[in-house]
Structure 1
Amino acid sequence: MALVEQTHRNSVTSSKTVTEGAVTHGLEKQKDNEQVAEKPYSIYTRREKWFIVMVASSAALFSPLTANVYFPAIPTIASAFHTSIESINLSVTVYMVLQGISPMFWGTMADSVGRRPILLACLLVLCLSCIGLALVPTSAYWLLMLLRCIQAAGSASTVALGAGVIGDIGTPAERGGFFGIFALGPQVGPALGPIVGGILADKLGWRSIFWFLCMMSAACFALMLIFLPETLRRLVGDGSVIPSPFYRPLVPLVGKGRPPSPLMNNPLRLLFYLDVLNLLVFNGILYAVFYAVNTTISTIFATKYPFLNEIDIGLCFLVIGGGMTISTVLSGKMLDADFQRTKNRLVKKAEEDPEKRIRPEDVTREENFPVERARLRMIPIFTAIFVLTCGGYGWSLQRETNIAVPLILQFILGYTFMAIMNCMQTLLVDLLPSQSSSITACNNLVRCSLGALMVSVIDLLVNALGPGWTYVLLAGICMACSPMIWLAIWIGPRCRAKRRARNTAA
């Protein structure tokens, strides 16, 4: 009997010990899980992230700058090469074609071999092409066209690469603000480029434009060589992995990393994602219409307001660029606020759910968060304003109203256009953050292809219909495409779920 009682006591003690061990193990596992969950997305501090974004933004300046600084000098260059303005406009078209194609190459490489070396390579190509353009003989029109293509190949990808950097270091809650500040660089180009181009062409000759771009791109190359760290997550993780010397800045203020073997992906396959293609086409159509406005400012204003000289016309670009610049900052804050508002609403709903189907801390997981609705909330309003302003802008030029009227409408166009572009770009990176450069390259391909097509026909449309009916037609195209916004909100979660299922199965 005593033996039975002793055995029973030993069994209870053993069971208690096992239970306590299991509880302890469970608590330790829960603690480990909490520590993993609390691990930051990136080791960079908030200040370091802003520094990286600003450096990337300085490179992204060159994509629009090299295009817009050229516009006021088009009549002068046409005269120097003894050719028509339409022939020089063709150099704008080929520039846009390469602007759309080249990021597909550079962006894919950046997603594989790293952001830093590809950014440096792009700036080097840009600098050398600008030297060639500054020295091109006026008897070699073909060489002007070729060098403009090479210039576009160097400058155009900097926006896609900068977007990739933001995808590497920023969480979804931060990306809206980062893109808002990052876009300041690309918007300085449309704002100041035509002014600088007009002044240089008027005072120092058209060749000085390219010497200016050469010096600016060389200075940016030096800035990135000295300070920019590698950020590609498959190479440096969250920034805590030590890289090879090739990936390190000369002055390592931030960032660490060690590169694994590169893996190249075909970015064109992203065009077969229905939700992505829908966004790219809508974005591209609005971009083409906006570019039609931008490229015809110098020719239409010179015709409708003959009292303007080259410098005055260059200053007219400042208004539309100013609207874009202000929009970059405000729309970035709006995107972060919309994301936080959506998150808070979902957290409150999760806390009040009696069945607790989703924990409050899990609402921002991809499968639970309606990122399309959060990012596109204001797009219908901005699109409606853009459409109305576009039509009004055309008729203000048709009726030759006071020059203040089309300039004010330009400001509104610039503001709404940039707000739409920032929302779209941020959403695209949210959908595929690990391929942020590739998705931005696809964005450039679609919008620049449509933009090049628009540039090739816009003068024909204006001459045939006049600016009034031309821009009413373009506004109508934008309005007809507006249902694509609601289509994106409807199909987006379904398409993301299918991609997750395929990735899980693989």
Structure 2
Amino acid sequence: MAHAAHAHHDSVTSLKATRGAVAHGLEEQNVNEQAAEKPYSIYTRQEKWFIVMIASLAALFSPLTANVYFPAIPALASAFHTSIESINLSVTAYMVFQGVSPMFWGTLTDRIGRRPIFLACLLVLCLSCIGLALVPTSAYWLLMLLRCMQAAGSASTIALGAGVIGDIGTPAERGGFFGILTLGPQVGPSLGPIIGGVLADKLGWRSIFWFLCIMSAACFALMLIFLPETLRRLVGDGSVIPSPFYRPLVPIFGKGRVVRDAPKPPKPTLNNPLRLFFYLDVLNLLIFNAVLYAVFYAVNTTISTIFASKYPFLNEIDISLCFLAIGGGMAIGTVLSGRMLDADFQRIKTRLVKKAEEDPEKRIRPEEVTREENFPIERARLRMMPMFAAIFILTCAGYGWSLQRETHIAVPLILQVIFGYTVTAIMTGMQTLLIDLLPSQGSSITACNNLVRCSFGALMVSVVDLIVNAIGPGWTYLLFAGICLACSPMIWLAIWIGPRCRAKRRARNTAA
């Protein structure tokens, strides 16, 4: 009897435990489903686009500040009573700080927030422009110092914008957002010389810096008034109200969707961005992107000299207008490549969802296909890259020989449009993938990308004229096309090693 009572008690206990486990399992499933259904950000799609457009306006200053300066170099050499080579040293110094400063600002913004660093960079840029507009012509050293400060203020805006995209955009949206963010940086190298040439010719070289001062001050005011803080370590999905220091003067984004008593995210730790270079998949993308950027910079910086020698009937204004060809191609590529990336993401997602629904073992639920461990993000971002790379390589070689043979000027200009489109499509895909790999460190990884590509670009600028003078533009760009062809297997390498590298990082983070 006692034995029967004891058995009955055990069965009741077991039943309660089973019910508790089932209830706990259902509760955990509901929590997971709610987490899966919860939007990545509280901002609507229209609000996200507006935030990205504000960030892209700031990102325009990085290339614009660098390239608007070029037409004024002869006037500056004359005003400062020095050689053009000495003034060119300020260009070199600018490029050095353009590559290094985002490593500092990008790391800082991943720790203390996007909004304050954006405002700090624009303030430094505005003040340095005022200094350059007023610099005495007897102080060459001050010109160099202020150009370095100008680079420190303007160069980091692209990295900061990339961090904002990682904060508010899902992987399905990032392609389009990154396309808009890079519109300014891609068009800036073409518009800069035209704006600088007109200002220097009509109003003098100091007007260039007053123009930049006014533009950067206007952007500073726009961000101060409207830009919300987006760093997820501070505001989560945007629903956490930060301290007044982080709030815009006119909070128009996310109204009615913030939670006053929401739990604050954990305090961030300062990560060393240099460790990103030890991630094999990241390093592979950085090097390939930098090689293409260096070749692009070679084309862009030699347009003036080569077109002047091959087409002597062109005056300075005509030559400056030739920059619009490559700039137009890049502008088209920026918009279309972003849409293409989003479409490719949706195409692969749809295919994987259908496969998951048809899987009899249900190893992956349809709503789980976009999780990092299940989604082949490298294949989604790089699917069209081999085709674009092939067109880029052929166009690069053809561009050089069209100049070598002095064909009709329409031929190299049309090839510039194609060249600009393909290089933008490739670099947008690569840069979007970099953000996908480490979205919480979007600014740091973009700063690393900027450091590597600016280093390659500076090296290219220092040797491209020597190579063109030695072997001519035809063989020069055939050589550059061959280098790009040799590096093209890195696209397939990225698709192959990417999932393995991501799995190792997940395992390391889980263990930590």
TM-score between both structures, scaled by the size of structure 1: 0.94
Q: Does 1:327 align with 2:327?
A: no
Gaps of 5+ in 1: none
CA contact (8 A) 2:158 2:181 kept: no
Q: 1:479 to 1:80 in 2, by over 3 A?
A: farther
- Pick which of 177-186 and 244-253 moved more: 177-186
Task: Give me the whole-angstrom Cα distance separating, in 1, the residues matched to 2:278 and 2:20.
Answer: 52
Alignment equivalent of 1:473, drawn from 470, 474, 479: 479
- The RMSD of aligned alpha carbons is 2.4
| Residue 29 of structure 1: how far off its partner (Å) | 4.0
Counterpart residue number, 1:230: 229
| Residue 208 of structure 1: how far off its partner (Å) | 1.1
Gaps of 5+ in 2: none
| Residue 351 of structure 1: how far off its partner (Å) | 2.2
User: For residue 198 of structure 1, what is the amino acid of its counterpart?
Assistant: G
Task: Give me the whole-angstrom Cα distance separating, in 1, the residues matched to 2:511 and 2:233.
Answer: 21
Q: Does 1:155 align with 2:137?
A: no
Counterpart residue number, 1:209: 208
Q: 1:26 to 1:480 in 2, by over 3 A?
A: closer
- Pick which of 386-395 and 208-217 moved more: 386-395
Task: Give me the whole-angstrom Cα distance separating, in 2, the residues matched to 1:479 and 1:87.
Answer: 36
| Residue 89 of structure 1: how far off its partner (Å) | 3.1
Q: 1:42 to 1:376 in 2, by over 3 A?
A: same
Q: Does 1:78 align with 2:84?
A: no
Alignment equivalent of 1:368, drawn from 358, 365, 374: 374
Task: Give me the whole-angstrom Cα distance separating, in 2, the residues matched to 1:141 and 1:291.
Answer: 27
CA contact (8 A) 1:115 1:165 kept: yes
- Pick which of 298-307 and 202-211 moved more: 298-307
Task: Give me the whole-angstrom Cα distance separating, in 1, the residues matched to 2:109 and 2:14.
Answer: 57
Superposed CA deviations along residues 113-134 of structure 1, whole A, max 9, x for unmatched, are: 0000001111011111111222
Counterpart residue number, 1:244: 243
Q: 1:504 to 1:259 in 2, by over 3 A?
A: closer
Superposed CA deviations along residues 283-316 of structure 1, whole A, max 9, x for unmatched, are: 0111011011111222222222233333222221
Task: Write the mapping of 1:377-392 to structure 2, written as runs, cut at 5 A.
Answer: 377-392=383-398
Superposed CA deviations along residues 401-434 of structure 1, whole A, max 9, x for unmatched, are: 2221111111111111111110011000000011
CA contact (8 A) 1:72 1:313 kept: no
CA contact (8 A) 1:274 1:495 kept: yes
Counterpart residue number, 1:440: 446
Matched residue SS, 2:229: coil
Matched residue SS, 1:218: helix
Alignment equivalent of 1:427, drawn from 433, 436, 446: 433
Task: Give me the whole-angstrom Cα distance separating, in 2, the residues matched to 1:142 and 1:469.
Answer: 39
Task: Write the mapping of 1:67-466 to structure 2, written as runs, cut at 5 A.
Answer: 67-254=66-253, 261-466=267-472
| Residue 463 of structure 1: how far off its partner (Å) | 1.6
User: For residue 70 of structure 1, what is the amino acid of its counterpart?
Assistant: Y
- Pick which of 394-403 and 117-126 moved more: 394-403
Task: Give me the whole-angstrom Cα distance separating, in 1, the residues matched to 2:295 and 2:139.
Answer: 32
| Residue 79 of structure 1: how far off its partner (Å) | 3.6
Q: 1:311 to 1:352 in 2, by over 3 A?
A: same
Matched residue SS, 2:289: helix
User: For residue 403 of structure 1, what is the amino acid of its counterpart?
Assistant: I
Task: Give me the whole-angstrom Cα distance separating, in 2, the residues matched to 1:386 and 1:481.
Answer: 13
CA contact (8 A) 1:398 1:468 kept: yes
Task: Give me the whole-angstrom Cα distance separating, in 2, the residues matched to 1:407 and 1:70.
Answer: 23
Task: Give me the whole-angstrom Cα distance separating, in 1, the residues matched to 2:236 and 2:272.
Answer: 22
Task: Give me the whole-angstrom Cα distance separating, in 2, the residues matched to 1:239 and 1:71.
Answer: 41
Q: 1:143 to 1:282 in 2, by over 3 A?
A: same
Matched residue SS, 1:424: helix
CA contact (8 A) 2:397 2:477 kept: yes
Q: 1:30 to 1:425 in 2, by over 3 A?
A: same
- Pick which of 155-164 and 454-463 moved more: 454-463
